Amino acid sequence: MQSHQDSRLRLEETVQLLIRIIGKANERMIGLEERIKRLEEAVAEKSMRQ
């Protein structure tokens, strides 16, 4: 019975770790999308000026 609880606890810890990793990756993706949007706006502005 103890080993069943141990493996369940390990599984829960692994899931929590994965959730944190995915959350961080998602934050980075959102940051990259915002940077790309700003670059696109800057390029559009420059091309309108020329």
Residue 7 has pLDDT above 80, yes or no: yes
Residue 1 has pLDDT above 70, yes or no: no
Q: What is the pLDDT of residues 12-23, one digit of tens each?
A: 999 999 999 999
Tell me the percentage of the chain whose pLDDT exceeds 90: 90
Quote the CA–CA distance of 44 and 37 in Å, as a whole number: 11
Q: Per the structure block, which two tokens stand in for 12?
A: 């829960």
Predicted structure pTM score: 0.66
Residue 47 has pLDDT above 90, yes or no: yes
